[in-house]
Structure 1
Amino acid sequence: MDLEKHPSAPAPAPAAELRASDADRDRIAQILSDALAEGRLTSEEHSGRLDSLYSLKTVGELDVLVRDLPAPGGGARQQPAYAAGTPGGPVSGPDGPVETLVAVCSSSSRKGRWRPGAHTRAVSVLGDITIDLTEAVFEQQVTEINVTCVLGNVEVLVPENVTLRGYGSGVLGNFEVRGEGSGETDPHAPVVIVRGFALLGNIEARPKLGARLVDLALKLRKRLEG
């Protein structure tokens, strides 16, 4: 009598073929920012690689962006950047807490003199959220804001001399990044990335006219040196 044959479980995909997570992209973005600050990349190279970062799909593709750069801490890279968290797999979550703003049939705002972390999450459901970075104190070069908006409105304001980038979409709604900012003329200027999805809602990010951060290059150079 023949023994019943059970199909074997499919072999797990190689680490390089795994779909990239937000944490994977965050780690690569930090490596690129460090390379820019150290003079290993020009502002044009940094901008081009950062644009590619959010269009690539797998962790192996992300690693190509930093293959010619040293690992965090200055040592030689011994393993792919995406494997820095657990051996042979994608990285763990980003360091530091993620600040979350939620507005459900209400309003919420963050403004004035505050220190945004590397990651901020905003969720609006029939509510209004304002994230005003015009007086913020940036302690890292890349600041990412992830927005989910359903039947609501989310507005992000940045200084004129901060580089502003947007990656998102809307379904019967609006996702709009108005103006790239003038920060690209200064390779040491902070970069604000707004990623979002709007369903019957509105997400808008733009520079605030007349609002500027002063001496960006000097402040960031001092922070990197000390």
Structure 2
Amino acid sequence: MRASDDDRHRVAAALSDAFARGQLDYGEFDERTKRVWVAKHHDELLDPLIDLMPDPARVLAAPPPAVRPERTPEPGRYPPDTGTDTASRQVTGEPGGQSFTLALMGGSGKRGDWLCAPHHVSIAVMGGTDLDLRRARFHAHETTITAVALMGGTDIIVPHDVRVINDGVGVMGAFDIEEDEDVLDSMEELPTNAPVIRINGLGLMGAVTMRRARRESTD
């Protein structure tokens, strides 16, 4: 049976999960991901997963990554910047959400009012991905983002009242947290119940940048 784009996205996400768990090193992850994007049939598509899980075919039975159209937030949906109360309202418990962002020699991103899955994978290969979390909604108190930038860049904007944890590494590249000048409170000052964004992955000859920004900022 011939593979669809949804099938390729499912398998690429499974490889990203395996990379994040340490089952694959970078060279293996890169080589297998390239095979996924050129695979024409299911047997070719599943071969990169054969030593990673007992039943690779189950990956194709999973629902495709949910895609929500961008929309402007409803007036009054979020009150003026009120600190962690606003951050806590971002955790809605809604199921599903956007779980995958890919840029191959181009650009891709999410901003505005969107639902982020509990584990989001963002891959930029000679391109750029942008994730703006200031008005995003989250399923759970802690969200994990696996960001891989290969000769590309990933920019993640995190609201200043959400705790961000950097678990990534830069190899001939960068994996850093930055703060806008108008962010005056440090993460150490956030309450213990502040939502958590845990970001892991790799910047190889590329950069993953997490930027703490105030909610009302526009860039």
Q: TM-score, normalised by structure 2?
A: 0.50
Higher strand share: 2
Rg: which structure is higher? 1
